[in-house]
Each structure stands twice: as C-alpha cells, then as structure tokens.
Amino acid sequence: MIRSATLPIQASLPSFTENSRLRLLSGSANTPLAQEVARYLGMDLGPMVRKRFADGELYIQIQESIRGCDVYLLQPTCRPVNDHLMELLIMIDACRRASARQITAVIPYYGYARADRKTAGRESISAKLVANLITQAGANRILAMDLHSAQIQGYFDIPLDHVYGSPTLIEYLSSKQLSDLVVVSPDVGGVARARAFAKKLGDAPLAIIDKRRQAHNVAEVMNVIGDVAGKTAVLVDDMIDTAGTITEGARLLRQQGARQVYACATHAVFSPPAIERLSSGLFEEVIVTNTIPVPDDQRFQQLTVLSVANLLGETIWRIHEDSSVSSMFR
C-alpha cells in the first residue's frame, strides 16, 4: 500500500494579502510538491508561462509583477537533470530582470551533487560548476535539502540554508513503534548521517556496512560492523539511485540474522534497475520523501512516500521573516 504523510510543524502563518512581498513559483520538475508548499503557506503559486520551441529551447514568462518581491523558485534538478537545471537558470534570470528584491532557489534535490571532488585526473567538479551557474544567473540565496556532502555548502558564494528530511522519516518510523532497532549506515561515508538518525530514534545502536566500490553504480559489500542479529535494521542514506548499495546491504543484513530490514532515504532517484531490486522481498518497507516525484510506474507494494512540503514551507516562511532555521532541527 502506498502511504503519504506530512510533518506536523506548528506555525502561526498570517493570511497573505495582495500586498505581500512573498512569491512562490514552481518549475516543471515537481509541481505537486510546490503546490503542497503553497497550501502550507496559505497562498497560490505564481502564474507563469512555460513552453518549448521546435528546436527544444525553453521559454518562460512570469505572468505577474514581482518587482520588489522576495521570490522563491522551487525546482529539484532531478531527471532529466540538464533540462531542469537549465529551466531553473532561466527562471532565476527572468526574476532578476523583473526586478525581484531577492531570489531564493529552493532545490529539494541537488543534481550533480556526487561530483563534489576529483577522484582521478582531468575530471570536473560539477557540483561546484552548478553552484557557479546558479549564482551567476542571479540567485541571492539557496535552500537545499540533504546535500550529498556537506562541503557543497561551501561551493556557493551566497547564503545557503541546508535542511534535512530526517525529521519526516523519523516521525514516521517512530509512529510504527518498532522494537530492537539498529540503524545501519550503508557505507563508511554515511556514518555521521546514520549516527544522527540513530540518536533521534532514542539513541538506537549503530552498525556500519564496509564496502568497496569498484566502478560507478557498482558496489561490493564486504562485512557488517556491529550486531544486527535478531534486530530490526534500518538502512539510512541520503538517496537511492540504482539501489545496488542498499540492496546488497540488505542482503548482507539478512545473512547476518537481521529480523527485518527497512530502507530510508530522502531522495528517490530510482534509476534502473532500482525498482526490481527494491521490490525483490529483501525489504519490509522502503521509505522515501517526495523531493523527487515518484511516478506511478515506479511505485511498488513496499514503497512509502512521505511529504516534506510542511518542512520546506516552514523553512521558506522563517527565511522570509528572518527567523532561525536551525532551531527547527533541535
């Protein structure tokens, strides 16, 4: 069964008037999420014309005055990454030329985030290049969720607010009242994320899967560091792409005696053959959020999609009101 949930954030949002300086616009990448955010804020999405010319070029026109306004552009740069990135850049440029007072790019999923450093000679650091493009297009601020690596925050020369999908995932897991929990990091690089997740789940014990990657999207699982026998294992990662790493991890956890295996991730990238792997029966449940839209043909019985709309809406409101964002996660 497919379920959805929202994080219940308590906020006292005033009714918006025609004179409000806050505007929310959406790209084409995840309009349903943008509509949910708009409902949380008690406003409508700004009207915009979007079309493609015969040669594939994109045309965007904002259909209302945004002069002097604080504009928030919601657009995850998910598949097709280059199209959605270019659309975001054009929206930013249109807002800048329309004399918006401040332009905030709300990027629930940041494409090219895994190209955050050079691992061999003559490679591009694409995550930094994308940051430069967004800044040069005219963005004044970034709101991003669960960046693949924390260092990407330093790639921007403009303010960046980094928020996390973990409160939504943890609230849902806590409601299930699972017993004998152990939080598992699928690799050494995700230990900090898993440790923070475990702490918020009542200081659950932590286990680590030691693996060695031999090629892109190919992972070889070696062994489990920690006790998982007879326990409910929760694999935690920032994204699920081809699901190779998390599936091999689940298989190893089963071999080590884990009673149940859950997978939790903020971003459901779901590149082939992810669906076949995730629905193979290894997982009791696969829990993701809607930072990336999950089409009907990618949904399966064990999948649960949670909404981060309230979380993003509350963050947008706090930025607009110059209030603390970090206090939301304490």
Q: Do 245 and 216 contact (CB within 8 A), yes or no?
A: no
200 part of the active site? no
Return the closest-CA partner of residue 256 out of 219, 282, 217, 285: 282
Alpha helices in 69-190, H assignment, sequence order: 81-97, 126-137, 166-176
Residue 210: count other Cβ atoms within 10 Å of its Cβ: 13
Catalytic residue among 51, 118, 199, 211: 211
Give dist(CA 281, CA 162) in Å, integer. 34
What gap in Å lies between CA 146 and CA 266, rounded to an integer? 7
| 286: number of Cβ within 10 Å | 29
Tell which residue, 147, 120, 122, 142, has the closest CA to residue 132.
142
Give CA separation, 12 vs 79, 113, 205, 317, in Å: 35, 34, 37, 10
Strand order in the sheet with 218-225: 218-225, 206-215, 181-185, 232-240, 260-268, 285-289, 303-306
Q: What SS3 class is residue 158?
A: coil
Residues belonging to the active site = 211
